[in-house]
């Protein structure tokens, strides 16, 4: 079950790892300073360690921005009769009364029963099942964007008509736009809105850890080479610095590997999920499910940009690669889970088509 904090403004699975990592980031400069002063003594200059404290504060801020930023969570729909038929819940067409049960607290949080679509759907209650399905199709067949493409997959859990690149996270229990992966270190999904912060956090981790390695290595060397410099027992301080040195080495190589991996993914415009599962990227999926020619694509994308007040302010020609464009502009996506499901689907499809490079020729 997903965890919700700050009045449901933060959604994730578990933030325990995030808290532990931030504590280690904050503890590293303190350990370096204390151990160095006790092993090196008067030769230690406290002002030298100020950059480590500044970097520690900066990386904690970046981590919190990644964790606290909504990744692009889509609101849940109420599962329709058509969905139930497709899932095998109803095998034959017959009259089935739809008297909805009182909404649960989870329904209220997910905005399932409180939107304009629910009011429309009440009209079709107590009709034959086939008539109800046809009527609900008319109610919901308003997404003019997804209608341009042959495949319009619905999430069997959330009931939303999600665009290519989106996926349902079993840990967060939500569909996320351009879901890259669920990060246990961040405690939340990495999606369109927080992907740039995640990439910056991997770069910051590598830089911070190599600096910690340098300071801990220097302090450890001085403490072992000159054990009587301060006239104190330095073994405990050397041991503590050695532990942080090992963790920093691991963090450095982990950060570098993540940086290289995601730089490659951004360049090729793939997500981690698509790469691991050998799926098509968003551009390739849109290309295969559309019959529009190059001219029609460009006109269609320009129309979508003109319809969105935020997309109109973005310079799409600034970044040639759609992956880079998605990384830098994705954070400007409006928060979808504050919208009704129908409005969120419309916005999600619009941003997916525009940022997915649908009008780019390959």
DSSP label at 332? G
Same domain? 122 vs 133: yes
pLDDT tens for each residue of 36-51: 777 665 555 667 778 8
Claim to verify: residue 64 and residue 108 sit in the same structural domain? no
Q: Which of 221, 236, 269 lies at the terminal end of a domain, its last residue?
A: 269
Rounded Cα distance between 46 and 1, Å, is: 46
Domain containing residue 150: 75-163
Task: Count the alpha carbons within 13 Å of 336 in the hemisphere toward its beta carbon.
Answer: 33
Flag whether 15 is in a domain: yes
* pLDDT tens digits, 249-306: 999 999 999 999 999 999 999 999 999 998 889 989 998 888 888 888 899 999 999 9
Residue 84 domain-assigned (yes or no): yes
Q: Which of 349, 348, 357 is nearest to 70 (CA)?
A: 348
Determine, yes or no, domain membership for 50: yes
Give the pLDDT score at 304: 92
Does residue 360 lie in a domain region? no
Average pLDDT, the chain: 78
In a domain, 291, yes or no: yes
* 181 occurs within a structural domain: no
How do residues 218-247 score in pLDDT, each as one tens digit? 878 877 776 655 555 567 778 888 889 999
CB-neighbour burial class of residue 212 (10 A; exposed 0-12, middle 13-18, buried 19+): buried
Q: Is residue 275 part of a domain?
A: no
Higher pLDDT, 120 or 360: 360
- Shared domain check, 157 and 89: yes
Answer yes or no: do 251 and 117 share one domain: no
Q: Are residues 239 and 102 in the same domain?
A: no
Residue 22 scores a pLDDT above 80: yes
Look at residue 178 and tell me if it is in a domain.
Answer: no
DSSP string, 30-90: HHHHHHHHHHTGGG--GGGGHHHHHHHHHHHHHHHHHHHS---EEPPPPPPHHHHHHTTS-
Same domain, 193 and 327: no
121 with 154, same domain?
Answer: yes
What pLDDT is recorded for position 94? Answer: 38
Written as six digits, the tokens of 111 are 């905005």
8 A C-beta contact, residue 152 and residue 346: no
């Amino acid at each position: 079950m997903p965890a919700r904090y700050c009045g449901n403004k933060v959604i994730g699975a578990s933030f325990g790892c995030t808290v532990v990592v931030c504590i280690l980031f904050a503890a590293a400069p303190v350990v370096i300073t204390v151990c160095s002063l006790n092993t090196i003594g008067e030769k230690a200059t406290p002002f030298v360690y100020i950059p480590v404290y500044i970097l520690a504060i900066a990386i904690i801020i970046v981590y919190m921005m990644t964790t606290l930023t909504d990744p692009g969570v889509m609101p849940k729909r109420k599962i329709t009769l058509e969905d139930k038929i497709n899932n095998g819940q109803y095998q034959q067409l017959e009259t089935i009364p739809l008297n909805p049960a009182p909404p649960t607290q989870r329904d209220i949080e997910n905005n399932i029963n409180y939107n304009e679509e629910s009011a429309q759907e009440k009209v079709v209650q107590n009709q034959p099942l086939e008539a109800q399905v046809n009527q609900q199709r008319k109610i919901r067949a308003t997404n003019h964007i997804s209608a341009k493409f042959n495949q319009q997959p619905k999430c069997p859990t959330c009931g939303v008509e999600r665009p290519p690149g989106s996926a349902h996270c079993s840990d967060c229990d939500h569909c996320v736009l351009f879901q890259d992966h669920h990060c246990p270190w961040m405690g939340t999904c990495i999606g369109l809105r927080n992907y740039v912060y995640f990439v910056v956090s991997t770069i910051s981790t590598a830089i911070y850890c190599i600096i910690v390695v340098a300071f801990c290595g220097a302090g450890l060397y001085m403490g072992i080479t000159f054990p009587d410099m301060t006239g104190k027992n330095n073994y405990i301080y050397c041991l503590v610095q050695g532990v942080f040195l090992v963790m920093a080495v691991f963090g450095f190589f982990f950060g570098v590997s993540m940086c290289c991996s995601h730089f490659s993914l951004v360049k090729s415009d793939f997500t981690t999920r698509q790469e691991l599962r050998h799926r098509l990227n968003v551009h390739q999926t849109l290309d295969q499910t559309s019959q529009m020619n190059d001219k029609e694509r460009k006109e269609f994308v320009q129309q979508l940009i003109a319809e969105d007040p935020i997309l109109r302010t973005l310079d799409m020609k600034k970044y040639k690669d759609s992956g880079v464009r998605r990384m830098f502009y994705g954070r400007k996506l409006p928060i979808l889970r504050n919208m009704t499901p129908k409005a969120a689907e419309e916005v999600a499809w619009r941003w997916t088509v525009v940022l997915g490079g649908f009008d780019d020729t390959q």
